[in-house]
Structure 1
Amino acid sequence: MYTRLPKEIKDQIKEELKEYFYYERSEEIGDLAAENMLDFILKEIGPYFYNQGVKDAKEMVNQKMANLEEDIESLERPISRNR
């Protein structure tokens, strides 16, 4: 799975990559190198983050469903067996 990003976001990330290399590694990289790195991250590393997001969402939904089930059960009224 390869995520396509809007051009504005892709351009912003490329600038952030270039700044990272400049300030953290004292290296200057151009647009092509930044784009290649971004493509690599999206293709090779991105799925790990995506899958973790899916797991986190699933856990949250399961917790919400458990809470909802408890809330619904709390609406039950006791049945009196006395006649």
Structure 2
Amino acid sequence: MSIQISEAVRKEAVTSVQRYFREYFPEPLGNLEADALLAFFLQEIGPVVYNHAVADVQERLQARVMEVDIEVHEAEFTYWRQHDSKRKKA
């Protein structure tokens, strides 16, 4: 699965990559070079980030599922306990 980004996001990312190179490297990158570098990162490193995010979501969902019984638990066989406690008060 390749990671796709919108044209607007791609343009902003290319601009960011170019700025990074301007500020931290002696040679600036042109649009084509920055776009190619971005494409490489999306294809090569993007899946690592994506898979890690999916694993994080799975972990959080599993934790929530484990709490469902606590959140929605209903006491069982309560009629007679309630009935008897009302009779004792009367």
Q: Show structure 1 runs of 5+ residues with no match.
A: none
CA distance in 2 between counterparts of 1:25 and 1:76 reads 66
Structure 1: distance between partners of 2:32 and 2:26:
18
Unaligned runs of 5+ in 2: 81-90
Q: CA deviation at 1:78?
A: 5.2
1: CA distance, partners of 2:4 / 2:51:
16
Tell me by how many angstroms 1:55 deviates.
0.2
TM-score by length of 2: 0.80
Supply the RMSD in Å over aligned alpha carbons: 1.4
Identity over aligned pairs, percent = 24
For the residues of structure 2 that align with 1:23 and 1:78, how far apart are their CA atoms?
70
TM-score w.r.t. the length of structure 1 is 0.86
Return the index of the structure with the highest Cα Rg: 2
Report the CA distance between 1:77 and its aligned residue: 3.1
Matches within 5 A, 1:1-83: 1-73=1-73, 75-77=74-76
- Partner amino acid for 1:77? E
